[in-house]
Structure 1
């Protein structure tokens, strides 16, 4: 499959911006707890996508046959985002950036079983194992852990969230062959808002004393750039190219995420974090190259 330069550039930019998402989530959580953060973020994102649909005259109301798929992907999405925000609240931005960047690994595994012609090969498996070794280095700090901290628990929650993200990406790739991508992303977000709002009202309280331009700007970044632009561009790309090819550009995300975490959050660039990031990036590059080599055209 020959991928146009513009599509490659779009994927690289989106994954670079995605690398900054855990940093933005961390900054927003100072004032807005996990479920409030998710609700505000995707309310903004849904409005952006509704505006895009209006400008491009895209019908948003689903056909009857589409509801089942939309509800399924919305359920996965709601659980995944809730877990991601909770995990980021417990760990560092740099560690979260590396964990969330591993979703192509799980997407590759799910695609093997769910997408015809998108099979695991020995080369892909080598990439997966290399990246998972990097995850292990980040999780353990390169040594046998003596105790289990809240940050370790946060890392594991994010990793579980990333498994769901990989499943959601592959499920989305299947759905967009029959459902218009804009409509799919809009309803995925809209159906999640009630759950986020209910959970936030019952269990969380906004820290009004910390509300300022920084957490508000972080939420705007998550809503407009990530939930709006990022989701739309990525879904558009998935409709046209193999999931294993496109999502493997995610090797950029851990690098940008770790650097932004150091710059904006003051996270330390330790040797184990650098080694883990490098291994994850190398593994994803191997996965991407093998996926491209197997693509026809």
Structure 2
């Protein structure tokens, strides 16, 4: 079990909370962007393009800043594992979006905080949740379920919707497993840039191979909307927001960070109202308040 870095903080401060809210907003918008691009860019090609483009940006960023990426520091095994889990996660998400709605997908992805909360005591005993904090995690997830309950009572978006839902749940479990792989290996001492580059480079190779094998050639002509969606996913989400996320993981408790990510589906709902014209209901407002209460319980000192 690797020792925690000496500069890891026991609680989330104002900076961490602000950065987390920004990341959650971007991740909520990302599901809408991915869904917009799917009619033109096949699922695995879209996932592979995100990873490859993000990897190139991370490499350029590290080179400009003089950050060493290729020294021997015993992170290879953890990096390969994290990258493989990362590839499987996004394969599930992008393939699943072909069968279910973006709003349903984002609910199932956020099984990840439970995987982290249950598994983190095995890799970092200091991050064990108290019964009250675990109760806060349950309260937060209950808020998400309440906000999305209306969607579960409507007609299915497709005949095979259950396939997309199942892939979303599996993607969430894989996200949680990726977090545990990073915290339970030598990657916990690596820079955010190196941690992210491992995942993007390995997943880019694996997803690209999957796309070549199953999705046919990459389309050469895309609409402005598809290009904008892909650029947003590569530059803003895959490069900038993930770099922030892994920096936060290196300096703050992973269980507290994971609980905060439950804001993402709430942002997804709000963005659906603003961008897709979906109704803003009392259940949504109640869900937002419940998620806020759950996150407070998990992060209270």
Which TM-score bucket, shorter chain as reference? 0.7 to 0.9
Q: Distance in 2 between matches of 1:2 and 1:216?
A: 39
* Alignment partner of 1:243 is 2:287: no
Contact 2:189 2:250 in 1 (8 A): no
1:233 corresponds in structure 2 to: 244
2:290 corresponds in structure 1 to: 282
Q: Distance in 2 between matches of 1:77 and 1:280?
A: 28
Match of 1:211 among 222, 226, 246: 222
CA deviation profile, 1:1-30 (whole Å, cap 9, x unmatched):
454422221111111111111111111212
* Alignment partner of 1:171 is 2:181: yes
* Alignment partner of 1:259 is 2:267: no
> TM-score, normalization: structure 2?
0.84
Q: Structure 2 vs 1, CA of residues 282 and 135 (structure 1 numbering), >3 Å: closer, same or farther?
A: closer
Q: Distance in 1 between matches of 2:279 and 2:122?
A: 37
Q: Distance in 2 between matches of 1:277 and 1:149?
A: 30
**Partner SS state of residue 201, structure 1:** helix
* Alignment partner of 1:291 is 2:301: no
Task: Indicate the larger mover: 130-139 or 82-91.
Answer: 130-139
**Partner SS state of residue 89, structure 1:** coil
Match of 1:29 among 15, 25, 38: 38
* Alignment partner of 1:200 is 2:211: yes
Unaligned runs of at least 5 residues, structure 2: 1-9
**Partner SS state of residue 232, structure 2:** helix
2:5 corresponds in structure 1 to: none
**Partner SS state of residue 189, structure 2:** coil
Q: Structure 2 vs 1, CA of residues 33 and 170 (structure 1 numbering), >3 Å: closer, same or farther?
A: same
Q: Distance in 2 between matches of 1:238 and 1:9?
A: 14
Q: Distance in 1 between matches of 2:283 and 2:96?
A: 22
Contact 2:123 2:183 in 1 (8 A): no
Corresponding residue pairs, total: 290
1:191 corresponds in structure 2 to: 202
* Alignment partner of 1:77 is 2:91: no
2:24 corresponds in structure 1 to: 15
Contact 1:53 1:182 in 2 (8 A): yes
- State the Cα RMSD in Å: 3.0
1:96 corresponds in structure 2 to: 105
> TM-score, normalization: structure 1?
0.85
**Displacement, 1:82?**
0.4
Q: Distance in 2 between matches of 1:225 and 1:280?
A: 25
Q: Distance in 2 between matches of 1:248 and 1:207?
A: 37
Contact 2:62 2:193 in 1 (8 A): yes
